[in-house]
Amino acid sequence: MTRTHRPTLLPLVSLCALLVGAPSALARAPAPAARATAARAAVSDVVKAARPKGGEYFGLYLMDKKVGWLFTDLELLPGEPARVKTTNQLVFKAMVGSRVSERMHHEERFYEAKPGGKLLSFVVKQTGDGGTQTLEGTATADGFQVVRKRPNLADETLPRLPPAKERVEDADPPRVALLRKAKVTGTSLDGMDLESYGITTTVQPEEQRVINGVKVKLGKAVTVSEKEKVPVTSYVTQRGEMVLVDYGTTMQARKETEAIAKRLDLVEVFGLTRVVLPKPLPDSARTVPGHVTLVVKGLPAKFQEQTYRQRFKPLPDGSVEVTLSAAAPRTRKPLPLKDPEGGENLKSTLMVESDAPAIRALAKQLVGTEKDAYRIAQKVNAWVYANLEKDYGASADRATDVLRQKKGDCTEHSLLSVALLRAAGVPARRVDGVIYMVNQDGVPAYYWHEWVEAFVGEWTQLDPTFNQPVADATHFAFGKEGNAEITPLIGALKVTAVK
């Protein structure tokens, strides 16, 4: 039996999260007047580091195919006390199936210019797939106040954030580390979820590379965020030019002129990122209970976590045998439920929005007098499947937007389901991975997909996109909550046998 796959934006969403979450790797030299100011007062190493003037443009390449561009800039502003402004602009544009996906993310941040200078304010603008919003954040005496602005909606003051730990050096840790010739640690306030994450940058031995036909010696620094856990490797010339940034093994930012950077190919990312199978999966993968066994190459050990659904057995040639299974939960408990992970899976966030009045009202309507957590999860799963139109062209990154438009692909189905489950008191999270499909070209393959995991007395997985109260064994999970940690698997994962 075949299943027609609705194209999903998940690979681009994860890559976008990685690029947005990564600290700025590029910056601009201060103007001569600003240099004079810097000479009179102590300024951060982020200002002292050598770099080209005017900001820099980069082409973004996914598996050697161009899918976007990046602009970054850092400048020392005139005046007393001195401030630093950073600008980061990211554009993704690619074909997913037969439709064009485009996302734009623009950030400006302002810091004190002194060593260890605080983050003072920021503006984040997001448009395109995922929805349009502006986040304006301002430091206060007791935290960070953020106002969210969306078209045709009243401005919303978000719950106050704790005081930002991010410092001006965190705006460009690769250059700071290379200037100091030492490891640097810091914190970054993520522009996607407004959570703060630790970052560590280490200096690596210099490398010689051929750049524009000339062999040059490049400084090398590797930055890792607690959120993404994907190494971001920056290569810098002795003049301070950033010529290349590797985001894991999947994506590169290559320095280009503005005109070339913005010249994009419409790459079909849907087929580019799929994992082709040597033969179709057996029928046992589609039944519940059911199972399937695969032999996989290119799966790092950190993804080989033994779970109630996935078992791994290393093989002598470096590949791994994976057994995927699916079964209904055996332990079912009534509400109220405690989150076995301390509350993270019941939390309302900028994207999940389980505290939003519209989400809470619908959850209350769906739950009624039901107390059995698994039965509640089934009700939510069935409602989302029945009431969301299967439409790739209506992407949204926030649960209230999904509820308002009532359409989307697997990411929208999963996001709204998790928000409703948390609002109902059922711990839940999104699951990222691949699902088996035989598409129009007849090729059996895994495609990137997102579904739901809920704690109902034990963990169980559901798929609201396909109305599966138990996600069948065609689902192969790698990560949670849209995390870009899975991006190194894109293009590297190979299935060599189906048993």
Q: Where are the domains of the chain?
A: 45-262, 283-498
* Long-range contacts of 46-50, Cβ-Cβ distance < 8 Å, separation of 24 or more: 46/74, 46/84, 46/168, 46/169, 46/171, 46/172, 46/175, 46/176, 47/76, 47/84, 47/113, 48/179, 49/172, 49/175, 49/176, 49/178, 49/179, 49/240, 50/175, 50/179, 50/238, 50/239, 50/240
Residue 71: partners with Cβ closer than 8 Å, 6 or more residues away: 55, 56, 57, 58, 87, 88, 89, 258, 261
Question: Tokens 């505290």 belong to which residue?
Answer: 355
Residue 154: partners with Cβ closer than 8 Å, 6 or more residues away: none
Residue 16, classed as helix, strand or coil, is helix
Question: Tokens 């400006």 belong to which residue?
Answer: 108
pLDDT given for residue 396 in this prediction: 81
Distance CA 60, CA 322 (A): 33
- Among positive and negative, which fits the CA dihedral 375, 379, 381, 385? positive
Query: Two tokens at 114?
Result: 């002194």
Q: Which residues of 308-344 are buried (b: 16+ CB within 10 A; e: fewer)?
A: ebbebeeeeeebbebebbbeebeeebeeebebeeeee
pTM: 0.83
Q: How would CATH label the architecture of 283-498?
A: Roll (3.10)
pLDDT given for residue 10 in this prediction: 54
Closest CA to 308 of 475, 469, 482, 450: 475
Distance CA 310, CA 399 (A): 29
Contact 434, 346 (CB under 8 A): no
Question: Tokens 């007393």 belong to which residue?
Answer: 80
Residue 291: partners with Cβ closer than 8 Å, 6 or more residues away: 284, 285, 323, 324, 325, 326, 473
Residue 195: partners with Cβ closer than 8 Å, 6 or more residues away: 189, 227
pLDDT given for residue 24 in this prediction: 52
- Give 10-residue mean pLDDT values along the chain (499 residues): 43 57 46 44 90 92 91 93 95 78 93 97 92 94 94 92 95 96 96 92 93 87 91 94 90 94 84 91 96 96 94 96 98 96 95 96 97 98 95 78 91 96 98 91 91 98 97 94 74 93
Question: Tokens 């544009």 belong to which residue?
Answer: 93
Distance CA 212, CA 254 (A): 12
Residue 376: partners with Cβ closer than 8 Å, 6 or more residues away: 335, 366, 367, 370, 421, 424, 426, 456
Q: Which residues of 223-239 are buried (b: 16+ CB within 10 A; e: fewer)?
A: bbbebbebebbbbbbee
Distance CA 354, CA 357 (A): 8
Percent helix, strand, coil in the chain (nearest 5)? 20, 40, 40
Distance CA 312, CA 296 (A): 10
User: For the CA atoms of the chain, what is the radius of gyration?
Assistant: 23
Query: Two tokens at 164?
Result: 């930002």
